[in-house]
Chains A and B, each alone.
Chain A
Amino acid sequence: MAIVAQHSKFSKIAMPVLAWVVALIFFFPIFYMLLTSFKTDADAVKPEFLFSFTPTLENYTNMTDNYDYWRFASNSVITSVSATIFALVVGVPCAYAMAFDPSRGTKDILMWMLSTKMLPAAAVLYPMIFLTKSIGLFDTHFLVIMVLSLINLPIVIWMLFTYFKDIPKDIIEAGKMDGLNTWGEIKEILIPLAWGGIASTALLTFIFCWNEAYWTVRLTTIDAATLSKLIEGNRAPEGLFFGRLSAVSTAAVGPIVVLGWFCQKQLVQGLTFGAVK
C-alpha cells in the first residue's frame, strides 16, 4: 500500500514538473524569436541585450512598408483554406467508401496512400518545376492549392477513415432503409456524427498547409508566394538582420500559434487519431 501511495505521490509532483520542463524547452525558441523581433538588428546579436533592451516596432513597420506582408499573408490564407477544403471534399467521400463499403483491396490502398508520403520530395522537384512552368501553372494559386491538398490527402483520408470506422454500420444501414441515398447518408448521418473528427482533420490539415515550405518556396515567386516564401526571402548570412527575420517569422507563425492555442483539444485528438477521448 505504502509503495503505491508513494508512487502516486511521486507521479503527482514529478509528472507536472517534467511536463513543464519539456514545455519550456519547446517554447523557448518561440519566445526567443518573439523577443528578438522587438530588437533592432544591431541589438539582436549582442548577448548583453538578451533580456534587457529597448523594444522597437521598427521591424514590423519595415515588414509592412517594404515587403507587402499582407499579400503574403492573404496568399497563405487563400491557399491553406482552399487546399484544406479541397482535401476534405475529396477525402470525406473517399474515406466514407473505404470505411463502410470496403473491398478486399481497401487495406492495400490505404497502405499505398501512406507510402506516397515516403517518396522524397526532392526526387520530383525539377520535373515539377519544368512541368508547371511549361504549362503556365508556375506561381499560381491553383498550383499551390493542388500541391498542398495532394500532399496532405493521404493523411486526411487516413484520419477520416479512422474516425468513420468508429460509426456503427447499422446506423448507416438504418438510414438506407429510411430512404437516404449516398449523399444523404454523408450529410444526415456521417458528418453530424463524425463532426469532431472532421474538424480535427481540417484544423491539422490547415496547419500543415500553412507551415508547408518545401514546395511553396520553390513553386512560387511573387503572385502566389506565401508567408513561408517571405521568411525564406529574409534569409541572410548569419548574424545579419536577425531582428527583421524574427519579426517576419513571428508574423508568419503567429496566426497558427493562436489558432492552435484555442483548438488544443481538437488538435490533440487529431494528432492521436482519436485515441484520446
Chain B
Amino acid sequence: MGRIVLENVSKSFGDTQVIPPLSLTIEDGEFAVFVGPSGCGKSTLLRLIAGLEEVSGGSIVIDGTEVADVPPAKRGLAMVFQSYALYPHMTVRKNIAFPLRMAKMTQSDIDARVNQAASVLNLNDYLERKPGQLSGGQRQRVAIGRAIVREPSAFLFDEPLSNLDAALRVGMRMEILELHNKLETTMIYVTHDQVEAMTMANKIVVLRAGVIEQVGSPLELYRSPRNKFVASFIGSPKMNIFEGDEAKKHNAHSIGIRPEHIDVVKSNGEWQGTVGVAEHLGSDTFFHIHNTGLSEILTVRAIGDVNLRNGDTIHLNPRADDFHRFDEKGLRIT
C-alpha cells in the first residue's frame, strides 16, 4: 500500500515561502511525476514527503497515518538521490544490505533479499566492489537496489537520471518503468525534463514557484493544458503561442498551436512565411518560420524529410480544432 495525501502542506525556509499551501493525492500504485523548472520546489516537496524536511504547515498522510512525527525511516518510503548517495566505504553488497541491517533482519534474510535484488538489477558481478569502482549507470542500479530491498510502500526518486548520459538515460528510464510494472508500488519521480515526465508518468504534477499548475495524465496535459505555462512546458518542440489579430479572430487574448498541428501545403495556405532554420531529424523536420505576420516566430513539424531550404517560401494550414485559447490571465478558455 502506498497512498499519499498532502493537505495544505506548506514550507518556508526562514522568511521565504518556497511552497505555499498545497494539496495533492497520490493513489496507491501510481507513477507520479513532479515536473517543473529548476528551483520550483520539486525536491523540497519530495523531501517533505520523505521526512528529510519538516513541514511548516498542513499534514501529510501516508496509508492513513499522519506522519508529522514519524521519522524518515519509519515512513516506509525509500529514496533514490540524484547523486546516488551510496556509502563510499562499503561494498555494493553492504550498501544494498544496509537498510536491512538497520531494520535488524537476520543475516540469512538479508542475504536472500540482497541476492534477489542483485539479480533483478544485474549487479551479481559487482557485489564485492566499492561504489568508486562502478560506472554511473551501475551506481544508479545500486541505489535502486538499496531502495527495493526494503520493500517500501512508495519509492521517491529525485532526478535520478540527470547525471547519466543520454543513451543510458533512456535505458534506465525503461528499467525503472519495468520495475514499476513488476512491483506495482507507488513511485514519485522528480524531474525538470518534460520528456521524462511524459514518457514515465501516470500522473504528472506540474509545479511552478511551489504552486501546482496542473495535475493530470500526460495526454490530458498535452490536450488541455490549464494555462499558458503548462501549454508551453509540456510538448517538444514548444507550443507556438501568439497574441494580436490572429488571437482576436478566435476571441482570445492569446492562442496556441502545437508544431505538429500545422500542415505544410503546396500553395494557398492560411499562413505563409519564409523558412529560417530547418532541423532535419529524418523522421521529422522542424521548420522555424519568419515573416508570417504573426507575433512570434513559428515552429512547424513536417513528417518525413521535406525538401525546403532556408529562404524558401512555405505555405501552412493550422488545424482549426487544435487551437488552444487563453484569456488575459493566461488561463485556458473552454
Contact = CB atoms under 8 A, between A and B. Distances in A.
Interface of A: 104, 168, 170-171, 173-181, 184, 188-189, 192-193
Nearest to B89: A192
Interface range on chain B: under 10, 10 to 19, 20 to 34, or 35 or more?
20 to 34
B87 A179 contact: no
B83 A177 contact: no
Chain A's interface: helix, strand, loop or mixed, by majority? Answer: helix
20 contacts: A168-B83, A170-B82, A170-B83, A171-B85, A173-B81, A174-B79, A174-B87, A176-B51, A177-B52, A177-B77, A177-B78, A178-B73, A178-B102, A178-B146, A180-B73, A180-B102, A181-B71, A188-B87, A192-B89, A193-B89
B88 interface: yes
B282 to A, nearest CB: 40
Given A174-B79, A177-B73, A181-B71, 16 more contacts: A168-B83, A171-B87, A173-B52, A173-B85, A174-B81, A174-B85, A176-B51, A176-B52, A177-B78, A177-B99, A178-B73, A180-B102, A188-B87, A189-B87, A192-B89, A193-B89
Nearest to A104: B14
A8 B81 CA distance: 45
Interface of B: 14, 50-52, 71-73, 77-79, 81-83, 85-89, 98-99, 102-103, 146, 150
Nearest to A184: B102
A149 B175 CA distance: 54
Nearest to A181: B71
A173 B72 CA distance: 9
Contacts of B71: 176, 181
A271 B27 CA distance: 55
Pick from A171, A175, A176, A178 the residue with the most CB of B within 10 Å: A178
Chain B's interface: helix, strand, loop or mixed, by majority? Answer: loop
Contacts of B51: 176
B88 A193 contact: yes
Contacts of A175: 87
Contacts of A179: 73, 99, 102-103
B50 A177 contact: yes
A171 B102 CA distance: 15
Contacts of B103: 179
B18 to A, nearest CB: 16
B54 to A, nearest CB: 12
Contacts of B78: 177
A248 to B, nearest CB: 44
Contacts of B79: 173-174, 177
A180 B71 CA distance: 10
A176 B87 contact: no
Contacts of B146: 174, 178
By Cβ-Cβ distance, the 3 closest A-B pairs, closest first, are: A179-B102, A179-B73, A170-B85
A74 B190 CA distance: 60
Contacts of A173: 52, 79, 81, 85
Contacts of B50: 177
Nearest to B150: A178
A178 to B, nearest CB: 4
Contacts of A180: 73, 102
Nearest to A180: B102
B99 A168 contact: no
A168 B72 CA distance: 18
B225 to A, nearest CB: 34
Contacts of B150: 178
A57 to B, nearest CB: 49
Nearest to A191: B89
Contacts of A174: 79, 81, 85-87, 146
Nearest to B50: A177
Contacts of A171: 85-88
Contact of B73 (A176, A189, A192, A193): A176
Contacts of B99: 177-179
B228 to A, nearest CB: 35
B81 A170 contact: yes
Pick from A104, A171, A177 the residue with the most CB of B within 10 Å: A177
Contacts of A184: 102
Given A168-B83, A170-B81, A177 B89 contact: no
Nearest to B80: A174
B283 to A, nearest CB: 39
A173 B51 CA distance: 10
A193 B203 CA distance: 39
A25 B89 CA distance: 42
